[in-house]
Structure formats: C-alpha cells, structure tokens
Amino acid sequence: MKIVILDAYTANPGDLDWEAFNELGHLQIYDRTSEEAVIENAADAEIVLTNKTVLTAETIGRLPNLRYIGVLATGYNVVDLVAAGMRGVPVTNIPAYSTPAVAQMVFAHVLNLTQHVALHAKSVRNGDWSSCSDFCFWNAPLTELNGQTFGIIGLGQIGKEAAAIASAFGMRVIAYNHRPPRELTNDIEMVDLDEVFAKSDVISLHCPLTKENHHLVNAKRLKEMKRGAILINTARGPLVDTMALAIALKEGEIAGAGLDVMETEPPIAGHPLFLAPNCHITPHIGWAAQAARRRLIGIAAQNVKSFLGGTSENVVNQDQLV
C-alpha cells in the first residue's frame, strides 16, 4: 500500500513525525507539490494525502491506483468530491483538531486591537517611556471588553469555544447560525444576521465558505457596523470583500480588523489591506500550534487506518460514492 503526502511541510515542518503512517504502508513524503507535478508525484499511490494541493476531476481520473484521498485540514474544497465519488474513492477530512488554537488566535487579535500591546511595547523600546513626563502614557485608546457585545457568525465548535472565552471576559455574546444549533449554553443569545452586524462591538467569523456567503462581509455590511467595532476573521478569506474592508478602514467606518486568512493566499505584494489603518494580518497560523498539528496528524493516520480496516471515518463525500 503506497501512501503519498503531496504537501507535508506546513503540517509538519520538522518538529513532528509521520511514524504512524509508516505502520500503514510505504510512505512517500513531498514537502510541496506544484500543480504540474501532482500526477507524477501521486502516479502509483493508492492513498493520497493533501493539505492545499488541488486534486481536480482530471487529476483524479489520471491516477489509476487511487483508492483514498485524505485532506490534512478541515476544509476540503481542494478536492473534486463528485469526481472522487464517481471513482468510488472516499475523501476524508480532519474535523475539530484546531478548535482551541483557533479560538486562542481570535482573542490574540481581539486583545491586540483593544490593548495595542505590540504598539506600546515598540514605543517603550524606542525610548518614549524613558522620556515621558508622567509615570505612564498610551498611544491608542484602551478598550475594556467587559460589558461589550461579541458577535459570532457561525456557531460550530470553534464559534462556541470563542463564545466561552468572550463570556469569561464578561462580554455579552450574540450569534447567528444558518440553522439552529443542537446545543446552546445560556451565555449565547441567538439573533438574526442583521442584528449581529448592527449591535456587535466585535464580530468574529466562524462559518464555512459557501457560494451563498462569499463576501458575506461587504461594503453594505461594513456600513451597518458600529464605527468603533472590530472585525475578526480566522475562518475563510473570501468571506470578506477585502477591497471593501480596506476602504472601510481608511474611511473610519469601523475601528479595526484582525485577519488570519485572506481571499488569496499568499496575498499579492502591496495588497491594499497592508496599508489600511489598524488592520493586523497574520499568515493563516491559527491552526498551526504544535499541539493542534499533532492532533491533525494523529486523526489523519486514524482515518487511513479505519479505511484500511473497512470502517471509514470522517468521510465528506459519502453521498457521492458509487
């Protein structure tokens, strides 16, 4: 059984191992695979694992030995599910592995935008405190989260984790989900989408990317937000119209944004948001804590082991399988 990992580097740049897969078959690892090299690298593989390397219908059709595709992520839009299903190839993903890490990243951005820790630390290093006439100073407004409203769009596991943290800070939590959640704590108030945009001091996105919510945050929605509100996106870049966001920040329609994802990754050099005021961008690292990546690799290996044992887990194209 040959197992090929097409783009192993981001999940494991060397601080973890793939030993669990060596026990399941002959493992071939590629740090990265270009679009042109996918068929060559996966040519005789029965099991193919991918993170962001795209597997199109044409590619799947040209891999005669292919029996299984594992996505090393929660999102699986990089694989043509229908084409895989028509071949009888199950596609699996890795759910819930990054929940604590991503929720933590949400509040790293929230606290950065409300406490401006990096800004003040840099100012101190530059000598501003040493030359200050008073015992303290601040270069930007400091915002207390207690009593503010935290709005969540998408109340899955990460959304609920972020809600719990917001509640611990004393924030009122309101949320919108496209369907009523199965379980809801007393700390979360379900509202409609318009109310989330209109009433939130912080809006955090946690919904999947679909055709319906592409550019969910657009020029119209940004105008509906409070001028002092901040937007956090750790979900999917195309949920936000980045050009509209750049304009909204420049014109002061909202107070700030913390983004861990972009519409195109990596973003183009000189992207308009790079120069937008009070816009802080991290390079899609919310999922990348070592503990989270260790869970990812463990679940991925278990997915393969279950497939080989005839009881597949976390299959995302079950309805397309023939």
Residue 23, token pair as written in the block: 């026990």
**Active-site pick, 120, 206, 236, 293:** 236
Give me the residues paired with residue 280 across strands: 258
Note whether 197 and 151 are within 8 A (CB): yes
Answer yes or no: 295 catalytic. no
Residue 45, token pair as written in the block: 């593989």
Three-state DSSP state, 243: helix
Answer yes or no: 265 catalytic. yes
| Beta-sheet strands, E only, within 198-252 | 202-205, 230-233
Q: What is the dihedral of CA 163, 178, 50, 238, to 10 degrees?
A: -90
Q: What is the DSSP string of 23-63?
A: TTSEEEE-S---GGGHHHHTTT-SEEEESS--B-HHHHHT-
Residue 95, token pair as written in the block: 């759910």
CA–CA separation, 284 vs 260, rounded Å?
5
Answer yes or no: 179 catalytic. no
Helix 157-168 vs helix 99-115: crossing angle, to nearest 10: 40
**Active-site pick, 19, 58, 251, 265:** 265
**Active-site pick, 120, 280, 284, 295:** 284
CA–CA separation, 260 vs 280, rounded Å?
9
Residue 305 burial by CB count (10 A; 0-12/13-18/19+): exposed, middle or buried? Answer: middle
Residues labelled as active-site residues: 236, 265, 284
